[in-house]
Amino acid sequence: MSKVYLITGTSTGFGRALAEAVLERGDKVVLTARKPEQVAELVQANQENAIAVRLDVTNAEERTAAVKTAIERFGRIDVLVNNAGQGSLGSVEGFSSEQIRKQFEVNCFGVMEMTREVLPIMRQQKSGHILNVTSIGGLVSMGGFALYCATKFAVEGFAEGLQHEVKPLGINVTIVEPGAFRTNFAGDANMQSDTEIDDYKPVIEPIKEYLYGNNWKQPGDPKKAALVIIQAVESENPPLRLMLGADAYALWEQKRAAERQEFEHWREIGINTAFADVVVTPIGG
């Protein structure tokens, strides 16, 4: 039986590539975008299996309407793909309070609220799959991306805990963690800090030069990523984390090695903080 996907942010990038790949398989897709006219030609070419819906994930009414439209048209939602997001680059001190909150509204709260909209349907179905597209920046943070990575770290923690809640109900959760792919991440939507502070330039400028200097030269192919994501959805044992790209794996391994060294150095000191007569048992242990 074909699946019904609801994908946020399908105008470009991963969302668009995944929507196209899903439709090629004969599955059904609710393509959501802030400007649905940008996906009109894809719907026109797949009128039986695709609909376009206006959705800003920060808008409560539009979130509810998108889910309602999906059910009215296709009767179910098998896969929710929380893909819509926004990048940012700059020092933490340089971002305004409004920018910080906007970043979390789009990248984090939008994901949580879309998930909450769809969960009652999946619980009733006793099946479903929630995919949260984060980034290797959901596991590894660096100067210039602290705000962006904070939102992605939050989604990682949300999804990891959610998995334990919904797995017994027949619902799977997968976090997709791409490295550098040829998407519009470095495009006009990438938020710049309101204020540039000279003291941070030695950290920020090399990152900025890398990001914009390599735009559309990134190694990752979104079409290949889409096929791997579908493979995970179709798997009998879907992964909680799906890392994409050799660069992502390299950053993750580098961080883990540094963490292990630091943890071991402080391990005994950190452990010796319990009362003397207490036996410590981890939660779930």
Contact 244, 181 (CB under 8 A): yes
Which contacts (CB < 8 Å, 24+ apart) does range 255-258 have?
255/139, 255/140
Element (H, E) at 276: none
> What CA–CA distance (Å, rounded) separates 131 from 189?
22
Which contacts (CB < 8 Å, 24+ apart) does range 25-29 have?
25/230, 26/2, 27/2, 27/3, 28/2, 28/3, 28/4, 28/74, 29/4, 29/5
> What CA–CA distance (Å, rounded) separates 271 from 280?
10
Residue 40's nearest CA partner among 13, 61, 10 is: 10
Residues labelled catalytic = 148
> What CA–CA distance (Å, rounded) separates 269 from 285?
22
